[in-house]
Chain A
C-alpha cells in the first residue's frame, strides 16, 4: 500500500493570500480639497502618512493652517448661500446617491487604501468599512426630501456650515457618518480627517469631484490638532461634529461655550461585555473576540471590560484563550488576517504602557503564542485576568487589543460595576433569557447595548454615548436632528 493512503492529523497553515495593490494609484503629494479643487496650502507645509504595517511612507499631504481653514469655511459658506440652500431637496438627494454608487464602484480600491493607510485587515475594510460607508450615503440620500415627514409640523431647516473632525480608526466610514447626514439636511461641510489616516478621505474628495457636487459643498482639509482647533473656533461655523478622544472633546466644549454653535461629540468608551451563566457560551466567546479584537481594538465602543459570571468563568476563559490562539495576526493586506497592525507608533507605545501598568498592578497577563511581524506596529491579542474595578487598565480606555476580565456573582453587582465608569457608550449582554436582557438594557447607562451579539452597525440605527462618551446621536432618524433647527 502507498504511504499516501492515510493522512494523519497535521497543522494546516494557510498560505499567504495577499490582496493585490498594483491597481492602487496614489499621488506622491495631496493638496487641500477646497471649493471643488485641490489647492496648495497657504502654510506651504506637507506632512507624511505612513503604512503602519511596513513603516513605509505612502504619500505627503498638505498641512492646513488658520488661513486655509478660513478659505475652506468661506467656500462652504458661499456654496451654502448661493447653491445648496436653494437647491430642491430631491436634487440634493441625487448627488448623495451618486456618491454612494461611486463608493460601491471603487470599493476594492478604497478598501485596499484603507488597509494600507490604517493597518486594519482587508477582510474588515472590504466587508465592513467600505460597504457600510456606502450604505450611510444611500440611507441619508433617502431622507433628503422627506425631512418634513421625519419631523412633522416642526419645519426643519438646515444650520449652515458644519465643521467635522474625524478619527483614525474608521477613516472612510467616519467621513460617511459625518458628511451624509449633513448634506441630506442641506448643510455644507468642512471635514478634517485624522493626520494618521487622511488617504481615503482624500480619495473621497476625488469621488466627490467626479460626482460633480457643486463646488464648496464639501471641503476636505488635512492637518493636525491646530487645524481642527481653527475649524472649531471659526466664527462662520454653525455646527461642530467631532469623533475622537474625550480629552479633545472637552477642549471643544470649552472652545464653543458661549457661542451659538451646535455640537455632537462622540468620544471614548470602556464598554462592559457581560456574560451570564445561561448564555450560549461558545457564541459568547465569539462575541467577546469580536467585541475587543475587531479593528485591533481601535473601536470606541469596543467591549474592553469583560464581566463573566463566576460559575462559568473558568470555562469561558479557557475557551477564549483557545479561540484567541486561532487568530491570525499579521499583514493587513492578507485576506486571512484577523488582526492587522496597530494604527501608529504612538498608539502602540500607549498600549504597551498599559500592558506594563496592568502587569505592575499584579494582574495575570495572557498573550497568544504566535509570533508577530518584526517590522511594523503590532500587538498580540492580550487578556488581563483577575482584574478589579480599581485597576487602571479597567478604568482607562486603552484603545487596543487588550481585554480585562472581571467576574461577578449577581445581576445587581454586575449592573453596578458596569455603570461605575466615566464612560457610557456601549455594552453587551449575553444570556438565553429575554427578560434578563430587558432588565439590563434599561439599567445599563450606555448609548448602545447589544444582546447576544456585538459591534453591529446599521445606518438606520442611532449611535452615541452617555456621560463622558459624548452627546448627540449619529445614524438613523436621530442622526438628522443635530444638523437641523426647528
Chain B
C-alpha cells in the first residue's frame, strides 16, 4: 500500500498562510489559556544539542525537567529531554523511572551525511543506553535528488533498529524549500514507519514555522482518515514564547482535534519555551509578572 511518492498531494502556499493567519486571530483567554499553557508545558521536549554539552549540563537540565514547576503546585512536568546519544546514559541516571522520557537524536545528526551502518550504530547506541525515543534526520540530499526510495528505506531500517523506542523523523524543512516537498517528505516518513514527524534539527533557519507545521498536520490527518493510524507531530526550533505555543495548539486543536491534545501525540522541541510558560502561568496564578530571576535557567 506504499503510494507513489512522485505524486503526492499538492499544497497551495497562499492557502496555507491564510489558514495560519486565521488560527492566529483566535483569542485565547482565561480558563482556555490556563489549560493551553499547562498542556504546552507538558508537551515540551527540553532540549540541549550542542557540541559543548557536558555531563554536568545534561544532569542540570534533567533535574530541571523533573522540577520545572516546583514553585507553582499542580503543574505537570515536561514530556521529555532531548540529548545526543552519548549523553543518554547520564540522563537516564538522573531521570531514572520518572515520567520524563529520554529522547535522543541519532543518525549522524544534524546533517545525516553518513553511511547507513553508522546511522544504525548511532541509533543502537541511543536505544541501548536507555532512550525511549529516537529523533532521526532524513537524507535531504537524496530527497532533493528525487531518490525517494532511498529516503524511505533508510527510515524503515532505522525504525527496525529502534525496537520499542518511538521514532521521530526530522524532515529539516528549512532545507526542503517548498511546502510541496514538506508534504512529500511527510508522506514518505509516515509510510516508512515514523511514529512522529518533526520539522527541524534547530540547526538550520528557518526552523519550525506554522505553515510548515500545518502542512505536516494535514499529512497526518489525511493518513488517519485513510488508515485510522495516529502519527505524532513535533515542531522544533524557534518556538520560544507561550503565545506562540498557544497558537500552535489552536492549529493542532482545529486540524487534528481532541485525540492529539496530549504529549503522546504532540511535542514542542524547545529550550527556552518552558521558562516563558512558567512566567505566564505564574502571572495567571499570582496576578503579576515576577522577575525572570525567580525562574531557573537550566
Contact A10 B258 (CB under 8 A): yes
Binary B-proximity of A165-186 (CB < 8 A = 1, otherwise 0)? 0000000000000000000000
- Give which listed residue, A13, A432, A452, contacts B32 with CB less than 8 A: A13
Whether a CB of chain B sits under 8 angstroms from the CB of A486 is: no
In this assembly, does B143 line the interface, its C-beta being within 8 Å of a C-beta of chain A? Answer: no
Q: B42: which A residues are within 8 A, CB to CB?
A: 5-7
**Interface of A, helix, strand, loop or mixed by DSSP:** loop
Cβ contacts under 8 Å, A15 to chain B: 28-33
**Which residues of chain B are within 8 angstroms of A326 by Cβ–Cβ distance?**
254, 257
Chain B hits for A5, CB < 8 A = 42, 76-77, 99
Q: A37-45, A277-285, A365-373: which one contacts chain B?
A: A277-285
Let me know if A257 is at the binding interface, CB within 8 A.
no
CA–CA, A123 and B15, complex, Å? 18
Residues from 341 to 368 in A contacting B, C-beta threshold 8 Å: none
Whole-angstrom distance from the CB of B34 to the nearest CB of chain A? 9
Please name all residues of chain B whose beta carbon is closer than 8 Å to the beta carbon of A8 when the two chains form the complex.
Answer: 262, 264
Would A11 and B263 count as touching, CB distance under 8 A? no
A329 to chain B, nearest CB (A): 15
A127-175 interface with B by 8 A CB criterion: 127
Contact pick for A336, options B27, B33, B264, CB 8 Å: B27
Q: Does A247 contact B (CB under 8 A)?
A: no
The answer to whether B15 touches A12, judged by C-beta atoms less than 8 angstroms apart, is no
Does any Cβ of A come within 8 Å of B165's Cβ?
Answer: no
Given contacts A4-B76, A7-B262, A336-B26, contact A287 B15 (CB under 8 A): yes
B53 interface contact, C-beta 8 A: no
Number of A-B residue pairs with CB-CB distance less than 8 Å in the complex they form? 103
B-chain residues with CB within 8 Å of residue A6 when the two chains form the complex? 42, 76, 99, 262-264
Question: Which chain B residues (1-60) contact chain A, with CB distance < 8 Å?
Answer: 9-12, 14-16, 18-19, 25-33, 35-36, 38-39, 42
- Selected from B30, B31, B38, B258, the residue in CB contact (under 8 A) with A11 is B258
* Min CB gap A437→B, angstroms: 12
Q: Which of B11, B254, B257 contacts A280 (CB 8 A)?
A: B11
Inter-chain contact A286/B74, CB cutoff 8 Å? no
Inter-subunit contact A286/B19 (CB<8 Å): yes
Task: Find residues 387-429 in chain A having any chain B CB closer than 8 Å to their own CB.
Answer: none
A9, B261: Cβ atoms closer than 8 Å: yes
Asked if B286 CB lies within 8 Å of chain A CBs, one says no
One digit per residue, 1 when the CB lies within 8 angstroms of any chain B CB and 0 when it does not, for chain A 203-216 equals 00000000000000
Q: Contacts of A279 on B, CB cut-off 8 Å?
A: 10
Q: Does B276 contact A (CB under 8 A)?
A: no
> Which chain A residues in 257-289 approach chain B with CB under 8 Å?
278-284, 286-287
In the complex, chain A residues 1-44 whose Cβ is within 8 Å of any chain B Cβ: 1-2, 4-15, 17
CB–CB B15/A280 < 8 A: yes
Q: Take A4-B76, A10-B258 as given contacts and tell me if A283 and B31 are in contact as well, using a CB distance cutoff of 8 Å.
A: no
Q: Which 4 A-B pairs have the closest CB atoms?
A: A283-B15, A17-B27, A335-B27, A280-B12
5 A-B pairs with CB atoms under 8 Å apart are: A7-B39, A9-B265, A12-B39, A127-B25, A280-B15
Binding site for A on B (CB under 8 A): 9-12, 14-16, 18-19, 25-33, 35-36, 38-39, 42, 74-77, 98-99, 218, 222, 225, 249, 253-254, 257-265
Q: Which residues of A contact B (CB under 8 A)?
A: 1-2, 4-15, 17, 123, 127, 278-284, 286-287, 318-319, 326, 335-336, 432, 452-453
Other than A4-B38, A10-B35, A10-B258, give 19 A-B pairs with Cβ distance below 8 A: A4-B75, A6-B99, A7-B261, A9-B258, A12-B32, A12-B35, A12-B36, A12-B249, A12-B253, A15-B32, A17-B27, A281-B9, A282-B15, A286-B15, A286-B18, A326-B257, A335-B26, A452-B12, A453-B15
